Chains A and B, each alone.
Chain A
């Protein structure tokens, strides 16, 4: 079954084309990765799916429901959970509250019931708190339900963010650079962890990542973006040997570090935003291939 479909999605910031002609078919149960150099438009795609930005053109459908034009909370309530590139927890609130807040759409009582403590209020609140505790226990965070989120160490904050995203009860989980700031050992653990929650919560996962180790290790399918354009699509093995991908990461002509690409590479209708610092050749080759071998 196709869970998420994006067809011909375009997005402009002013005159700058951040995403052009993005197409995606995500099957239920799949684990797909989106990779690409900095500024390729990866996070923008998450923001388009979750309604933070409204796509300039095109359509995004989740289980047949059109997402373009819906607000973030409406989209999230359809059971799409996400995390953020730079952790965005509710820093001054307790760990428990962070998870409980994400139950908003699933708990069903009216403001009047809340104000007067009548009707479904108590039962629903009890259910929310039990479910939150269950989630936190799974993530080994149950010992610090009362801790303020900002006081957790970095790794736990990342984990809490995933727990919070799961509290929405998602069918589709969007992970935005889950391995950011982790060392190779932690990445190994994270890979196992992602595989595990995928099974445990029956998830379809779309993830953005820079760490090739993680992407090549767990993703079944990859999409490579550069300058808002999809330049490749396939299994990790196919991607690894795709000349276009190598070019995007390495630069084409080896003339200089500042671009190394010709104007013809820019998609039609998109303004050029200026020179982009490319990875130095050696660094890039290691980055893309080295750790995998």
Chain B
């Protein structure tokens, strides 16, 4: 009996680790969606660039963990702002799909640009000395602990920013009404850029942690992880920040359970089947609210 509990706790820990990474990326999707109602398909690739920056910082600059993380977050935040300014802003008044296609284009560009730079796969050196603790049979590595704590910390920070600061208030206001908020003197362009910076920075942090946990970089790694994070955002109710976190941990948990019970090839199948069922049963996600059409 007790070994089942130990096993369960171990899997729970794994689920938390995976879920935190999904959550950090999902936040970027959900924030951008909340403000621009646009699915930023390039976001998964920003996550990949984050892992790539971390690799550069570790190998070429020889930085330890904390500065490498900081550099990555700043780098991806700048990248996010650049993408928004150069590619999305000119399309803000264009049909919505044009922006989505542009986002797809940017994603492909980031993948292939990274691919063109060097041969792959690359290995990220261990930035942290990982120690393993044995807690009554449950093994916990310092790496896991750092990933989970840091992610949770960042999420609480974001939640604070969105719900307690003027910038956050502006973000929520813009997502509520795009026509009149600018007339109230809210600097919309600035707020949108800040949103992209925060979202991309979080994806960069996720990329770093992912790179530490699974230290192989491949230019296409962002696609699947990005989609999974997007599913998390939808499961939680897209546009809803707390929903994205909940969705990410649910998806992480489900994936770990599937991996434990079935061959690994079923992992994606179950993740997407879950999405399909949820969308049919509760199309607006766990914390989202249904949109009512007036006649």
B68-109 interface mask toward A, CB cutoff 8 Å, 1 = contact, 0 = none? 000000000000000000000000000000000000000000
Place the interface of chain A in its size category: under 10
A54 CB to nearest B CB, Å: 13
Residues of chain A with a CB closer than 8 A to B295's CB = 43, 47, 52, 84
Tell me the complex Cα distance, A84–B295, Å.
8
A75-90 interface mask toward B, CB cutoff 8 Å, 1 = contact, 0 = none? 0000000001000000
Residues of chain B with a CB closer than 8 A to A47's CB = 295
User: In chain A, what residue has the closest Cβ to B293?
Assistant: A52
Residues of chain B with a CB closer than 8 A to A84's CB = 295
User: In chain A, what residue has the closest Cβ to B292?
Assistant: A13
B256-295 interface mask toward A, CB cutoff 8 Å, 1 = contact, 0 = none? 0000000000000000000000000000000000000001
A97 CB to nearest B CB, Å: 19
B93 CB to nearest A CB, Å: 16
Q: Interface size of B by Cβ–Cβ distance < 8 Å?
A: 1
User: In chain B, what residue has the closest Cβ to A43?
Assistant: B295
Residues of chain B with a CB closer than 8 A to A52's CB = 295
A69-105 at interface with B (beta carbon < 8 Å): 84
User: In chain B, what residue has the closest Cβ to A44?
Assistant: B295
Tell me the complex Cα distance, A47–B293, Å.
12
A41-52 interface mask toward B, CB cutoff 8 Å, 1 = contact, 0 = none? 001000100001
Tell me the complex Cα distance, A52–B295, Å.
8
A40 CB to nearest B CB, Å: 16
Residues of chain B with a CB closer than 8 A to A43's CB = 295
Tell me the complex Cα distance, A61–B295, Å.
22
A177-189 interface mask toward B, CB cutoff 8 Å, 1 = contact, 0 = none? 0000000000000
Tell me the complex Cα distance, A52–B293, Å.
11
B92 CB to nearest A CB, Å: 20
B63 CB to nearest A CB, Å: 54
Tell me the complex Cα distance, A43–B294, Å.
11
User: In chain B, what residue has the closest Cβ to A13?
Assistant: B292
A23-46 at interface with B (beta carbon < 8 Å): 43
User: In chain B, what residue has the closest Cβ to A176?
Assistant: B295
B291 CB to nearest A CB, Å: 15
B51-66 interface mask toward A, CB cutoff 8 Å, 1 = contact, 0 = none? 0000000000000000
Tell me the complex Cα distance, A43–B295, Å.
8
Tell me the complex Cα distance, A114–B288, Å.
41
B272 CB to nearest A CB, Å: 31
User: In chain B, what residue has the closest Cβ to A85?
Assistant: B295
Tell me the complex Cα distance, A290–B295, Å.
31
Tell me the complex Cα distance, A232–B295, Å.
26
B182-216 at interface with A (beta carbon < 8 Å): none
User: In chain B, what residue has the closest Cβ to A84?
Assistant: B295
A82 CB to nearest B CB, Å: 10
User: In chain B, what residue has the closest Cβ to A47?
Assistant: B295
Tell me the complex Cα distance, A181–B189, Å.
35
A11 CB to nearest B CB, Å: 13
B228 CB to nearest A CB, Å: 36
A184 CB to nearest B CB, Å: 28
B175 CB to nearest A CB, Å: 24
Tell me the complex Cα distance, A291–B295, Å.
30
Tell me the complex Cα distance, A47–B294, Å.
10
A22 CB to nearest B CB, Å: 17
B186 CB to nearest A CB, Å: 27
Tell me the complex Cα distance, A52–B292, Å.
13
B97 CB to nearest A CB, Å: 14
A191 CB to nearest B CB, Å: 26
B295 CB to nearest A CB, Å: 5
A87 CB to nearest B CB, Å: 12
A149 CB to nearest B CB, Å: 17
User: In chain B, what residue has the closest Cβ to A86?
Assistant: B294
A84 CB to nearest B CB, Å: 7
Tell me the complex Cα distance, A244–B222, Å.
68
A85 CB to nearest B CB, Å: 8
Tell me the complex Cα distance, A44–B295, Å.
9
Tell me the complex Cα distance, A105–B258, Å.
49
Tell me the complex Cα distance, A227–B82, Å.
54
Tell me the complex Cα distance, A227–B295, Å.
19
Tell me the complex Cα distance, A84–B294, Å.
11
Tell me the complex Cα distance, A119–B75, Å.
65
B179 CB to nearest A CB, Å: 16
A253 CB to nearest B CB, Å: 33
Tell me the complex Cα distance, A28–B253, Å.
64
Tell me the complex Cα distance, A58–B295, Å.
21
Tell me the complex Cα distance, A47–B295, Å.
8
A204-247 interface mask toward B, CB cutoff 8 Å, 1 = contact, 0 = none? 00000000000000000000000000000000000000000000
A9 CB to nearest B CB, Å: 17
Interface residues of B (CB under 8 A from A): 295
Q: List 4 A-B contacts (CB under 8 A).
A: A43-B295, A47-B295, A52-B295, A84-B295
Which 4 A-B pairs rank lowest in CB-CB distance, beginning with the nearest?
A: A52-B295, A47-B295, A43-B295, A84-B295
